[in-house]
Amino acid sequence: MERTHTTTAAMKHVFRGTFIHSTQQTPVEILEDALLGVNADGKVAFIAKPEELNKLSETFGFTPAEVTHLAQHEFFMPGMVDTHIHAPQYSYAGTALDMPLLQWLNTYTFPAESRFKSLDIANEVYTQVVKRTLRNGTTTACYFATIHTDASLLLAQITNDFGQRALVGKVCMDKNSSLKHYKETMQESQEETCRFISELLNKKYPLVKPVVTPRYALSCTGALLGQLGAIAKNNHLHIQSHISENLDEVKLVKELFPECTSYTDVYHKHNLLTDKTVMAHGCHLTDEELDLFRETGASLSHCPNSNISLCSGLLNVRNVLNHKVKLGLGTDIAGGYSASILDAVRKTLDVSKVLTILEPENDVLTFEEVFRLATLGGSQALSIDDHTGNFVVGKDFDALRVNAAAPGGPIDIIDCEGPKVLLEKFLNLGDDRNILEVFVAGRRVVPFTYQVV
């Protein structure tokens, strides 16, 4: 069990109960009847055994009466990380899943996103998606917005106001033959991206940062891709985009960029494949492309609901992990119809089993491994695992207080179950009714205290 980190900051919370998290060595580590302290900076100050309570209370300046005791069937787990979600598409989530990717974008996505020129529409939808994801336990989200700078800045403000940790990207696209008014010129995209980055950084939000966001290779000229690579490098920023989601897309990219050896090479040649890059999907990446991901430190976001819903493909997560490529989970609203990472956990397990049905030698993922992908794996994919992802002294306390036996909830507890069984039941059966509280950087953000004016 972890020791302590002496600090002059006062204690914000002290909890006693079960804590379940992942480490690099162990997909599920259970700390039963442990004490965990969160200091005024929102960081884990200590993790210790109960017999150390008196000594800790003296060292950290709290009284034993201030300790919050978890009830039976309750546990803390790290907050979940959504490594790929389109905030504006929440407006039609759960519908429009009757076409493959390229037709789907032209028919539903681009017309819906073009409406976000209106800040009123943006405010309504972005407030709803941030609240919904937080209620479902997403403490960190990596958001695509739209090409509209002011609406994208509004999304960043809303995530900050509600206390969600986020990467927010203004979408860049200077090609769009299906909806000509929903695109930028190359110069506009470059200038507005720089304005977005500058204004967002000037806000000095503690947990919300910009991410450079070329939509994908088919909607950007090579010149724009190169400019965005330079902007990300010069500002030391994260990068997000899509890759190898759909076979038709892969074929078109090969035709548009004949000088590149692969879809991955397109991004690599334009300096968009770095150790702060996360690419969504990757269903059809070759082993050679995965090697390039590993060499550059770039990450993948696995979005199984979307991959199935749009009939895009089945990502072999085991193969990605065997290539030692960082990987997290994404909801990919609205290609995926659920805003919950719990759904991504379940679909990830399902896809792994389907692949084993098709190829019996495939090594099925365990629920423990997928739990790690939803938490620590996501933070590693976004290169923020030095701040969050598990319960380690000195990291921010991003956490869910889960009651597997919540009254009126979806889980029935039949026997006196141990914490690992409760975790498995929550991952397979649970929903927002089981999530009593959500903490981000030590601040309780669910139940909501911030009210939209």
User: What is the pLDDT at residue 416?
Assistant: 76
State how far the Cα of 96 lies from the Cα of 57, in Å rounded to an integer.
55
Q: So what's the pLDDT on residue 8?
A: 45
How many other CB atoms are there within 10 angstroms of residue 101's CB atom?
23
Statement: residue 452 has pLDDT above 80: no
Answer yes or no: pTM beyond 0.75.
yes
In the chain, where are the structural domains located? 11-78+390-446, 80-382
Q: Cα–Cα distance between 164 and 161 in angstroms, integer?
A: 8
**Could you tell me the CA-to-CA distances from 327 to 102, 260, 301, 376 in Å, in that order?**
25, 24, 6, 10
Phi, psi torsion values for 417, nearest 5 degrees:
-85, 145
* Interatomic CA distance for residues 337 and 365, integer angstroms: 23
User: Would the pLDDT of 183 be above 70?
Assistant: yes
Give the residue-averaged pLDDT of 95-100. Answer: 96
DSSP line for 159-196 = HHHHT-EEEEE-EE-S--SSSTTS---HHHHHHHHHHH
pLDDT per residue as tens digits for the range 360-370 = 999 999 999 99
Could you say which DSSP state residue 108 is in? I
- pLDDT value at residue 9: 53
Comparison of pLDDT for 173 and 415, the residue scoring more? 173
Burial class of 234 by CB neighbour count within 10 A (0 to 12, 13 to 18, 19+): exposed
Collapsing DSSP to helix, strand or coil, 354 comes out as helix
Indicate whether 172 pLDDT > 90.
yes
Residue bearing tokens 């000594």:
55
Query: What pLDDT score does 7 carry?
Result: 46
> Quick one: fold of 11-78+390-446?
Urease, subunit C; domain 1 (2.30.40)
Q: How far is CA 215 from the centre of its chain?
A: 17
Q: Answer whether residue 4 shows pLDDT above 60.
A: no
The answer on pLDDT for 354 being more than 90 is: yes
Single-letter residue type at 324: K
pLDDT digits (tens, 9 = 90+) for 369-407: 999 999 999 999 999 999 999 999 999 999 999 999 999
Per-residue pLDDT tens over the stretch 314-327 = 999 999 999 999 99
CATH number of the domain at 80-382, please? 3.20.20.140
- C-alpha to C-alpha distances, 179 to 189, 337, 379, 396, nearest whole angstrom: 17, 24, 35, 43
The average pLDDT across 108-116 equals: 97
Encode pLDDT of 51-67 as tens digits.
999 999 999 999 999 99
